Amino acid sequence: MFQLKDLVYFLVILVVFVLSYAIASHSILFPDSPFTWETFRQIIRRPYWHLYGELFLEDTEGSADCTTDVRLWTNGIYPRCPSKTGQIVVPIMMGIYMLFTNILLLNLLIAMFSHTFEGIHKRSESLWCYQRYFILKEYGMRPVICPPLNICWHIYDLVQRVCCRQATVEDPFRK
């Protein structure tokens, strides 16, 4: 449960990084791009796969058969050419983005999970000691003789309480 909470915080931070890079890189590569569902899919697709090492350099650098004619790339005949500024700036942005996401954010996730694990381990160790105390206390209060013969023990305990007028059983762990 605690690790799920850490994961949600991490995913919110990761989504901020992914969306900021996605929108900035797409707007620099393809200025004046119409907003459609296909554009939205392309904006999210590239930064997501960058996390896993797929760089899509052919989209960033442009291919030989790309075009800047709106009619040709909107119909899907030729791919769209990236802007000259985008060909220079976006690889630098991609390097910074991959540095932050792959190295810093994943190490942050590991650090968050290890901190949570340490806290749970400390809590479980103290809980284990507490439960061990009560088990030892329970076994310390039980009669020494096995059940068929423990009637003698209970009679002895009753006589000792009545004769000595002890209202409570003395706890051997409180001495």
Q: What is the pLDDT of residues 154-167, one digit of tens each?
A: 888 888 888 876 55
In this structure, is the dihedral angle defined by the CA atoms of residues 120, 123, 126 and 128, taken in order, positive or negative? Answer: negative
Domain that holds residue 166: 143-174
The whole model's pTM is what?
Answer: 0.69
Residue 174 pLDDT: 60
Other Cβ atoms within 10 Å of 118 Cβ, number: 10
Q: Do 89 and 109 lie in a common domain? A: yes
**Residue 142 reports pLDDT greater than 60:** yes
Judged by average pLDDT, the poorest of 21-30, 38-47, 161-170 is: 161-170
170 token code pair: 């003395």
- Domain presence at residue 137: no
Domain count for the chain: 2
